[in-house]
Chains A and B, each alone.
Chain A
Amino acid sequence: METNTLTLEAKNLTKSFGQTQVLKGISLNVARGEMLGILGDNGAGKSTLMKILSGFQQQTSGDLLVDGKPTRLLSVDHARSFGIECVYQDLALVNSLSVYHNMFLNREIKRGWPISLLDHRAMRERAAAALDEIGVSVPSMDVEVGTLSGGQKQAIAIARAVASNARILLLDEPLAAMGAREASLIIALIERLKARGDISMIMIAHNYVQTLDVADRIMMVQRGICTFAGHSANTSVTELLDIVRREYREDAA
């Protein structure tokens, strides 16, 4: 099944910043309706990997395949045209703008000719419907995002990506800096998205337990290479911790 429904595939990606090679040949793939969890330490190259997959940066070498076709993602807009959406750790939300303005940031609904103006009413209605559809509740479409909780902001950022018809959703540490209650809300949201079956997801995370819980497959990135890949059903937290420990021992030696 995986082989014919792969939506995003990366082969041997490398990325260098000057003399420093941050990614040293990473390969991954994700199928439709599947969630791939990427684990690893700070500075392991996870965020760089995410930036390449979302078109924010370009790889130094290696290939990207979208729906099986080799593609070089030139910009965020270009990646978007393939249905690739990234929810960054800083969420790309503007605190001083309302919920619905954030939902449609750089994708505003406009009307009128020759001068097209923002259609506030349509955006407000569509934002409410989009949030409702995936079960996210916020007090109002007009409140400034800065007044909301971390979990609500994360939910809005994810809803924004989904509402823009994302087929491949990249989540950069969606559960970071969040209390257990808020995290469980986001996990429930991710489960609902998985249940739809039409979205591929790649999630970067720190928390092994949560990631094993929510992802179908797991991969571990350390110092720019992949040190483990497997199905989360056959993987245990101890197994992952052993790999990390081995890595540290090598470091120490």
Chain B
Amino acid sequence: MASSRTAVAVKPPSPGKHPALRALGITLRAPEAGVAIVSVILAIAFGVMRPAFLSNANLETVSQFVAPWAILACGEIMLLICGEVDLSVGQVFAMAPFVMNFAYMAGLPFLLALVVALGVCAFLGFCIGMISVVLRVPSFITTLGALLLFNGLTLTLSGAFPVNTPNTPFAPLFGGWQYSEIAWAVLIALLMHGLLRHTSWGLHTVAVGGNATGAAEAGIHVRRVKIGNFILCSTLGGFAGIINAFHVTSIDPNAGGSNVMFLAIASSVIGGTSLLGGSGTVLGGLAGAAVLGILQDGFTLLGVNAFAFDIITGAAILLTMIANVQFADLRRKRRI
């Protein structure tokens, strides 16, 4: 049969190979594992050069960098997989705690105020989604506009002044405790990984990004999937903003912004999510965020300045993208 030709190419893992080579093979096949290994190697390297890197206080600092990027990356990854992007999520990050605070000040119980804030974020995501999907403005443009719009709204609503976070017994749970941010990030990443790999929603998200026409012909509601992921991304962005506000005990209109959004997208891409849609990994995004956080903190400890950090981050993104594209070709041809 014609299949025999392709069948030959699919080799079982050859037991004769050196274990190290086999480990390398697995690493190259599962991009998220590779990125996770890189983050561990980087952590060890910085730990050797500066023992303070592995101190409790410093790990807490790293986790503060990593957590918001990782949470935002979870949403961006779903969007990137279905062929969209949200540039405005950093502004939703800044707006959400203000909305929560207004609701709380208006007399709502804290948890209800939190739900209201997340509801507003979901609504913003819905609007962006409708504009991108129904009115067919490319999401890059829609969310670029939304970025400025949301930023202006937050500055207007807040009068451009920071305020204190609500005084609630829930504060430690939602970011107040030193490790609660990273705990949320890991929890959310695991849930989103489950959503992507083990639910119909995740499968349909990949299908929509991989072949939108085909997905529609299979009866998948392409618009619903895309809009749903816009809602998911904005809501996660808002939640990250809220726990970040509790962490620093202050709600700052200039928190988050484009910087955190770009780092979230960078985390996604470094983690192995394709910018072209159709494939991606949430756990890879978490590992990608860890790599960026460790680099940033490690270089700070080494005394490398912020400009150099940007150079390194930029180069890291380019190199991983080149590697991703090249390895993806090899994987397709079953060379590794």
Contacts of B7 in A (CB 8 A): 137, 139
Q: A138 contacts B214, CB within 8 Å?
A: no
Q: A97 contacts B207, CB within 8 Å?
A: yes
- Closest residue of chain B to A95 (Cβ to Cβ) is B210
Among candidates B3, B203, B278, residue contacting A101 with C-beta atoms closer than 8 Å: B203
Contacts of B260 in A (CB 8 A): none
Residues of A contacting B: mostly = loop
Question: Once bound together, how far apart are the Cα atoms of A76 and B213, in whole Å?
Answer: 13
Question: Once bound together, how far apart are the Cα atoms of A90 and B220, in whole Å?
Answer: 16
Q: Is B218 an interface residue (CB 8 A)?
A: yes
Question: Once bound together, how far apart are the Cα atoms of A238 and B206, in whole Å?
Answer: 47
Q: Is A3 an interface residue (CB 8 A)?
A: no
Q: B10 contacts A105, CB within 8 Å?
A: no
Kindly provide the distance from the CB of B224 to the nearest chain A CB, expressed in whole angstroms.
12
Q: B203 contacts A56, CB within 8 Å?
A: no
- Closest residue of chain B to A188 (Cβ to Cβ) is B1
Q: A118 contacts B199, CB within 8 Å?
A: yes
Contacts of B5 in A (CB 8 A): 149
Q: Is B169 an interface residue (CB 8 A)?
A: no
Kindly provide the distance from the CB of A163 to the nearest chain B CB, expressed in whole angstroms.
13
Q: Is B194 an interface residue (CB 8 A)?
A: yes
Q: Is A33 an interface residue (CB 8 A)?
A: no
Q: Sorted from nearest, which 8 A-B pairs have the closest CB atoms? A: A92-B214, A94-B210, A92-B217, A139-B7, A139-B10, A117-B198, A96-B278, A96-B210
Q: Is A212 an interface residue (CB 8 A)?
A: no
Q: Is B56 an interface residue (CB 8 A)?
A: no
* Cβ < 8 Å to A, chain B residues 9-30: 9-10
- Closest residue of chain A to B208 (Cβ to Cβ) is A94
B-side residues, CB < 8 A to A, are 1-3, 5-7, 9-10, 194, 197-200, 203-204, 206-207, 210-211, 213-215, 217-220, 278-279, 332, 334
Residues of B contacting A: mostly = helix
Q: How many A-B residue pairs have CB under 8 A?
A: 98
Among candidates B200, B213, B217, B279, residue contacting A96 with C-beta atoms closer than 8 Å: B279
- Closest residue of chain A to B279 (Cβ to Cβ) is A96
Question: Once bound together, how far apart are the Cα atoms of A148 and B9, in whole Å?
Answer: 11
Kindly provide the distance from the CB of B214 to the nearest chain A CB, expressed in whole angstroms.
4
Decide yes or no: A94 and B217 within 8 Å by CB, A147-B332, A147-B334, A152-B3 being known contacts.
no
- Closest residue of chain B to A97 (Cβ to Cβ) is B206
Q: B210 contacts A97, CB within 8 Å?
A: yes
Q: B211 contacts A152, CB within 8 Å?
A: no
Question: Once bound together, how far apart are the Cα atoms of A149 and B199, in whole Å?
Answer: 28
Contacts of B211 in A (CB 8 A): 90, 92-95
Decide yes or no: A106 and B219 within 8 Å by CB, A92-B214, A94-B206 being known contacts.
yes
Query: Interface extent on A, as a size class?
Result: 35 or more
Contacts of B207 in A (CB 8 A): 94, 97, 105-106
Among candidates B2, B200, B217, B218, residue contacting A149 with C-beta atoms closer than 8 Å: B2
Kindly provide the distance from the CB of B99 to the nearest chain A CB, expressed in whole angstroms.
29
Among candidates A94, A106, A137, A151, residue contacting B278 with C-beta atoms closer than 8 Å: A94
Question: Once bound together, how far apart are the Cα atoms of A95 and B328, in whole Å?
Answer: 13
Q: A106 contacts B204, CB within 8 Å?
A: yes
- Closest residue of chain B to A137 (Cβ to Cβ) is B3
Decide yes or no: A94 and B219 within 8 Å by CB, A140-B10, A143-B10 being known contacts.
no
Kindly provide the distance from the CB of A56 to the nearest chain B CB, expressed in whole angstroms.
7
Q: Is A230 an interface residue (CB 8 A)?
A: no
**CB<8 Å pairs between A and B, sample of 14:** A92-B217, A95-B210, A95-B278, A101-B203, A105-B207, A106-B204, A117-B194, A118-B200, A120-B198, A139-B6, A139-B7, A144-B332, A147-B332, A185-B1
Question: Once bound together, how far apart are the Cα atoms of A86 and B213, in whole Å?
Answer: 14
Question: Once bound together, how far apart are the Cα atoms of A94 and B203, in whole Å?
Answer: 10
Contacts of A96 in B (CB 8 A): 206, 210, 278-279
Contacts of B219 in A (CB 8 A): 75-77, 80, 106
Question: Once bound together, how far apart are the Cα atoms of A117 and B202, in whole Å?
Answer: 10
Kindly provide the distance from the CB of B322 to the nearest chain A CB, expressed in whole angstroms.
20
